[in-house]
Structures are given as C-alpha cells and as structure tokens.
Structure 1
Amino acid sequence: MRLNYFFILIFGGLLIACSPKNNPAATAGSTNGSVKFMTYNVHHCNPPSKPGAIDVDAIAGVIKKENPDVVALQEIDVNTRRSGSINEAALLSEKTGYRFFHFSKSIDHDGGDYGIMLLSKYPLSDMETHKLPTDPATGGEPRVLSVATAQLPDGKKIRVASVHLDFHGKTNGPLQMTEVNRVLATETLPVIIGGDFNAAENSETIQLLDKAFTRTCKHCAFTIEEGNEKLAIDFIAYKPDQVFSVLSHRVTEEDYASDHRPVQATLKINF
C-alpha cells in the first residue's frame, strides 16, 4: 500500500506540472510556428457611407472575424470631438478582446489625439514612437512610426510596426520611407511592418520599402477606391527575408466599415 501511494503522489505531481493551468504557452494558445498579421486603415471608425457616424463595433467585428494575431491600425482618434470624445484605441482593445495595444500620436486633432496603433493578442513590450520628417513646403501632416516587440506563445519574439505615410507632394512619401528604413535598420529581431503607405507599387516610396523589406504580395489586389481608380496602397512587409515564408496573403472584401480594405498575411517563422 505504501508503494502504491508513492506512485500515486508521483503521477499526480506530473499531471499538475503538465496541466494547461501551469503552462503559459498552453493557456495563451499556439501560433504553430506562424504569425497572422493584419494592416487596416480604419478611417477613424467612420463608415464612408455614413458621414459623421462612428462605428467602432464595425471595425472590431472585422478584426474578430479575420482573427489576426497582430494588427497595424491607422487613422485612430483618441478623445477627438469628431469621434464623440471616445478613446478608439482603448475601445478597439476592449471590443476585440485583444488585451495589448500601443497607440502612437501623430498630431493634435479636434480637441484630442490622432495617430496609429498596434493591437495584439500577445504581450507587447519595448514600445516606441518615432517621428517622421515632413517637407514644410508641402503642407503635409506630421507622421510617426509605431514599433513594439510581440512575444508569441512559443516564446519567440518579433518586432512589429505600424505606419501611415503622408501623401502631400512627391517628397514626403520617399522622405518618410527613408526614415522608416533607417530606424528599423538597427533592429536585431525580425520585423513585420504594415501600413497605409499612400503610394502605389511603382512609386519611389514602395521601391524604397522593397529595398529594405520583402512584401507579402506583388501585383497586389486593390485596397482603396478613389473615384474610378482602384489602388493598392496598403501593404505588409518583413525582414530579413530568410526568417519568414508567406503562407497566405489576402485583401478582405470589406467595404462598409472603412474606406480601406484590410490586408492580412500569415507568415511562417523560420527561426
């Protein structure tokens, strides 16, 4: 009897040690060696068919349906009058159930802040906001780069970034993309960046992006309609090339919640 009791104690201890409650990776879920990344310009949560309306639930619904691990978001209002003095960054975190976010302010706007953010299922750390240059002669808006470290359930860490480049004049896009490349050149972890680059694939801005990163698509599907034009200006890119493999890339055909369509890619992590 004493011997059987001994084995029961040992076996019970092993069960406790291996249970999900005591295994953070099990409770957090698993990326299966890959990460699903989305970029989405949300038009300050204003559906283009409803001028003046704010529908945070619609944006949150798109994110929840697509179920990415990390989202780069652009055109976020925090406490602006035009959006009803709500904190869209905090509300999107709450309504999606994505606990971790980093908001980066670009400008003061209408009594509050306007900028970009990173939203993540997984913990974010080492969060940074980098100001990007603007040519004063263009009258363009100041823009920023938002960067953070995401720790995935398997313990791997990657740097994730969100950006929204200015479209005024011909100089701001290349000027700001050059600065993005300079800032991210010093990163020691692999990087995934997503954003509204306000530039088509044949532009100098995207050529600069392609010099430092590998995009998840070439000859990409359109992400915004401007008049009679259908343009691809929202992209996801990564570096170094050998660390990631593109398992899938897709532009979601969602046209109610924002004037941009969300872009998402699933990347296998090879390290």
Structure 2
Amino acid sequence: MKQYFQFSGTLFMICISAMTAIGQAAPKTLKVMTYNIHHGNPPAKPGVIDLQGIAEVINNQTPDLVALQELDVLTKRGEQVDQVKKLASLTGMHSYFSKGIDFDGGEYGVAILSRFKINHAERFPLPAQEGLAAEARSLAVINVTLANGQSVDFACTHLDLKNEHRMLQVAAINKVLGARKGTVILAGDFNLTADNPAMAVLEQHFTRSCTENCAPTIPEVNPTKEIDFIFLKKQSPLKVLSHQVLENIYASDHLPVVVSYLIP
C-alpha cells in the first residue's frame, strides 16, 4: 500500500501537469500534516529550541492544515516563547492552541495551524482512568471553509502512554466526532500502533491514510514504530491521493506525516 500511495501521488502530479498544459483546470487538493515537535528541541541538541527548524519542515511541504503536538507556551523550558504564535508567524498560518497541562511557568499541549481562516475552534478535555496517574490530554477541533465552499472539521490530539487511558480517550473522541456530518479529519500522536485494541475503536468511525506496509514515524533516526496517524472520517467525500512519512528530518524525535486528499 505504501508503494501504491507513492505511485498514485506521482501519477497525480503528472496528470495535473498534463491538464494544465491543455488548459484544463487541475483537480483541487487538500494537504494535511501531523508532527510531534518535541517542544521545538532537536534530540541531537539537548536544551536547544529551534522553532525555525520546525517551521522550515512545515514550509517545505506547504500544507493546508497542520496538527502539532508537544508545544510549549510561555514556559521557562521554551525560553518563555509562545511557540504556537511563533510558528504561526513563521509559516504565515492561522493557529489554535489547546492546553493539556500547566508546565514550567506556562502551558503545554497541542495546536493546529491552518491556511484557511478558522471559523470556530473547540477544546475537549479527554478522560483518564480513575486512580491511575495521568497527564491531562485534550482534543482540539477547528472548522474551516475550503475555496469551493466545503466545510471541514480538523482535529488534533496527543493520547496518553497508558492503554487504560487511551481506551477511554479514543471512545471520547468517537463521541465528539463520530456523529459529525461532512468532512472530518483527525490527526496526531496517538501513542499506539495499528495493532493496538484502541485503534479498532477509532476505526469504527475513521480510516487511516495508510493501512498496509506503512512507514514508521518514531524515532527520527532508524524509526521502528508508527504511532503518528492521519484519519479521515468514514463517509467523508475526500479521497486519499498520497501518504508520506518524511525521512531524514531531525528537528524532533518524531517524523512528520503528510497526506494529500482529492477534493471532489
């Protein structure tokens, strides 16, 4: 399947060039990225915050929507910079931050960047198993309108490391997004692999952008596990054109995932 996505993406670009050459309008696409940025700290550079490096990874792909995880907002560790606003400035995109926890004099959580104006945004706290230690997690959801007038809900999350919490969290995500109509895209660091029982719960409502022979996303050097995903809600009108895990990217301990969709 990985080879199929790569081939289909190449074929699609050839088709676009051919259609442009004969004066026909090229098909419309939507490009989505998910990236756990490790609070802007490249693992090879302990203590160094390099948001410019993260921004370059994003800008090189020119995505329309970006789900980001592990961002510091005004923390001492993050040099008291609002990383969400800084990345929005460096990429020229709109932004929305969803706090997970208070941390080191500031806040820490997930964020979304969007080329489109954000119509509205929502934050949903995610549950944890009572009596078991957990770090608070959340689901961020924005709504945007594409150039063709189509409405899209785009969601970002970062699930817990413990399966007891994750099972509750994926059920909560399904409750929030499962009944929504139209196009819904869910992306993030799910801290689980495709064979985890929590994945089967998510797949009651969502389909992964890659389902066979998918490249791993962590660690950034010699990656071994796929835990970063982009999902499309079932019955959404978009179609996957290509799925790619970017290789040789060392700005974080995760590799970015980029998916292009065909807009009907």
Q: TM-score normalised by the shorter chain: which range applies?
A: 0.7 to 0.9
| Structure 2 counterpart of 1:212, from 202, 205, 215 | 205
2:26 and 2:110 map into 1 onto residues whose CA distance is 25
User: Over residues 98-148 of structure 1, what are the superposed CA-to-partner deviations in whole Å (9 max), with x where a residue is unaligned?
Assistant: 1x1110011100000101011011111220000000114331211000001
Equivalent residue number for residue 17 of structure 2:
none
CA displacement at 1:33 relative to structure 2:
2.6
User: Over residues 154-201 of structure 1, what are the superposed CA-to-partner deviations in whole Å (9 max), with x where a residue is unaligned?
Assistant: 222100000100013x21111101100101123223101100000000
Residues 1:212 and 1:41: Cα distance change in structure 2 (over 3 Å): same
1:31 and 1:37 map into 2 onto residues whose CA distance is 19
Equivalent residue number for residue 181 of structure 2:
188
1:190 and 1:48 map into 2 onto residues whose CA distance is 36
Equivalent residue number for residue 190 of structure 2:
197
Equivalent residue number for residue 73 of structure 2:
78
1:255 and 1:63 map into 2 onto residues whose CA distance is 11
Q: Which has the larger radius of gyration?
A: 1
1:103 and 1:159 map into 2 onto residues whose CA distance is 15
1:173 and 1:262 map into 2 onto residues whose CA distance is 22
| CA root-mean-square deviation | 1.8
CA displacement at 1:225 relative to structure 2:
2.5
Q: Larger relative contact order (C-alpha < 8 A, sep ≥ 6)? A: 2
- Structure 2 unmatched runs, 5+: 1-24
CA displacement at 1:244 relative to structure 2:
1.7
2:248 and 2:76 map into 1 onto residues whose CA distance is 27
CA displacement at 1:229 relative to structure 2:
6.7
2:236 and 2:184 map into 1 onto residues whose CA distance is 12
Note the 1:11-30 alignment, pairs <5 A: none
Percent of counterpart pairs with the same letter?
A: 41
1:107 aligns with 2:101: yes
Residues 1:231 and 1:105: Cα distance change in structure 2 (over 3 Å): same
CA displacement at 1:255 relative to structure 2:
3.2
Q: TM-score, normalising length from structure 1?
A: 0.84
Higher helix share: 1
- Structure 1 unmatched runs, 5+: 1-29
SS of match in other structure, 1:95: helix
Note the 1:108-187 alignment, pairs <5 A: 108-168=102-162, 170-187=163-180
Equivalent residue number for residue 236 of structure 1:
230
| Structure 2 counterpart of 1:56, from 27, 46, 51 | 51
1:149 and 1:242 map into 2 onto residues whose CA distance is 15
Equivalent residue number for residue 239 of structure 2:
245
* 1:93 aligned partner, one-letter code: A
Residues 1:150 and 1:258: Cα distance change in structure 2 (over 3 Å): same
Equivalent residue number for residue 5 of structure 1:
none
SS of match in other structure, 1:126: strand
CA displacement at 1:205 relative to structure 2:
1.5
